Amino acid sequence: MRAKFVLSEAATGLWRNVTMTIAMIITTAISLALLGAGGLLYVQIQETKDLLRNKVEVMVFLKDDASPQDKKALEEKFRDDSLVRDFEFESREQAHERFKELFKHSPDFVAGVSKQALPESYRVRLKNPGDYSALADEYKSEKGVSRVSSQQETVSQLFAMIDAIKNTTFIVAVMQAVAALLLMANTIQVAAYSRRREVSIMKLVGASNWYVRLPFVLEAAIAGLIGALLAWLGLVVAKVMLIDKALKPIFTSGLIPVIEWSDIMMTGPILAMVAIVVAGVTGWSTLRFYVKV
């Protein structure tokens, strides 16, 4: 069979069933845009979680009377410790700065806290954030140490919340994927259904399955591709309009990573592939269903 013939069949098919073609393109575009948005959101939240994981620190607070020797001993112990990735000393001044920075939205509290109220501390980052309680146990009774803040409760609460959001976005993304598949398959089925007479005539004239189905599948795939392109353009517009403009205040807080252009770019080929595969498989299998001859 000649490719040229099949392609021209597909092209004229698209043109002559404009209604169906437009329907197919719109449906695909909307479905895929939803799917893409869901996917991006999911990736986003996963990244937020990773970002936060790397920020987990164990704070080893020093007694007010901790001697320089105590500090040296501690630092050596940190260096030799296999759990520790790196650590940092924080003076009272630094602590106060950080405190002001952290609670800059509550200046009234900052005002009430004097520099001397904040203790010196070591801020220890772990190789594996899961180990924080082990580390806390290890250091809490060292000389010069007043208290080890394991942040355990805080971190686990935060992570529980992020996990909840992540699961939700995952479920939403999956549901949108299912919806997208259903909508696309649906539209292709209706297209096949509306062609059943045409196809049965072709088969009676001796056209093979390939001959009848390939142009149809190609049509669906082309429509799907155009739909994917539109969906992707939609995401680009959303990036420019929403993410870079409307949502700026959120991203400047730094807690949530910005959705990068590279992420958006990557969705393009993925959406296109989904469209083509769905169109191909549904198109191929569905025609058989409606035409028995």
Partner 1 sequence: MITLDAVTKMYPKSRRPALDDISVQVEKGEFVFFIGPSGSGKSTFIKLLLREEVPTQGKVWIAGKDLAAIRSWKVPQLRRSIGCVFQDFRLLPNKTAAENVAFALEVIGKTRPVIRRIVPEVLSLVGLEGKENRYPNELSGGEQQRVAVARAFVNRPLVLLADEPTGNLDPDTSIEIMRLLDRINRTGTTVVMVTHDANIVNQMRRRVVELDRGRVVRDQNRGVYG
Nearest residue (CB) to a second copy, 14 versus 30? 30
Residue 240 vs residues 19, 41, 48, 234: alpha-carbon distances, Å: 31, 16, 21, 10
Question: What's the min distance (Å) between Cβ of 185 and partner 1?
Answer: 23
Q: Residue 292 corresponds to which amino acid?
A: K
**Per-residue contact flags (x/-) with partner 1 for residues 194 to 233, judged by CB under 8 A:** ----x--xxxxxxxxx-x----------------------
**10 Å Cβ neighbour count for 161?**
10
Report the interface residues with a second copy, using CB under 8 A: 19-20, 22-23, 26-27, 30, 33-34, 59, 61, 95, 99, 102-103, 105-109, 111-114, 117-119, 121, 147, 149, 151, 153-154, 157-158, 160-161, 164-165, 167-168, 171, 179, 182-183, 186-187, 189-190, 193-194, 241-242, 246-250, 253, 290
Place of tokens 């146990």: 137
DSSP one-letter code for 207:
-
Task: Output the smallest distance, CB 16 to partner 1, in A.
Answer: 5
How many Å apart are CA 77 and CA 99, to the nearest integer?
27
- Cα(134)–Cα(137) distance, integer angstroms: 5
- In the chain, at which residue ranges do the beta strands (DSSP E only) sit? 57-62, 84-90, 121-126, 145-149
Give Cα 182 to chain centroid, integer Å: 22
Q: How far is the CB of 206 from a second copy (least distance, A)?
A: 26
Residues sharing a CB contact under 8 Å with residue 158, sequence separation 6 or more, in sequence order: 52
- Tell me if residue 90 falls in helix, strand or coil: strand
Give the nearer residue to a second copy in terms of CB position, either 67 or 168. Answer: 168
C-beta of 154 vs 209, nearer to a second copy = 154
Paired tokens of 211: 């001959």
- Toward a second copy, which CB reaches closer, 184 or 225? 184
The smaller minimum CB distance to a second copy, of residues 8 and 91, is found at 91
Contact footprint for partner 1 (CB under 8 A): 1, 5, 12-13, 16-17, 198, 201-209, 211, 293
